[in-house]
Structure 1
């Protein structure tokens, strides 16, 4: 079933009960899909990521990058006011 956000907020207990007895409850915000309320038992069945985002990023190949700093002439600043 699909609920508009305002209706889901006003009838949250009903949304939860239907998620437990009938299955996932889809909630829209401004007419677009936003979230799904599911029973805890269904959530536990869902596949979990094999690794965290941090682990994924840290597993990327290491690349040596050499950055050269531009040799710009610094301007003189007068601190006397």
Structure 2
């Protein structure tokens, strides 16, 4: 259900109760969704298993075996002669 901000402020306990019983409640500001009130259970479900930015950057995609072999097989010498 959508709640205009003023109504959500005036009936906050009702917003929370409905979030627990019916699911997420959207709070609007001038008719535009501005926030969502979730039950603690729904919030915990969203947070479970989430990684942080460091984990995401370090995790990256797995390299396939062909790419690993190509990288290990490449010539170790520089491909260009340094400019003098």
Q: How does 1:1-81 map to 2 (within 5 A)?
A: 1-47=1-47, 49-52=50-53, 55=54
Aligned residues: CA RMSD:
1.9
Instruction: Name segments (4+ residues, structure 1) moved above 2 Å.
Output: none
Counterpart Cα distance in 1 of 2:52 and 2:24: 26
Q: Note the alpha carbon deviations across 1:14-68, whole angstroms, 9 max, x for none.
A: 000000111110010011110000100010111554223xx38x87xxxxxxxxx
TM-score by length of 2: 0.58
**Stretches of structure 1 lacking an aligned partner (at least 5 in a row):** 60-81
Counterpart Cα distance in 2 of 1:37 and 1:10: 15
Counterpart Cα distance in 2 of 1:46 and 1:8: 23
SS of the residue 1:46 aligns to:
helix
Q: Across the two proteins, how many residue pairs are aligned to each other?
A: 56
Larger relative helix fraction: 2
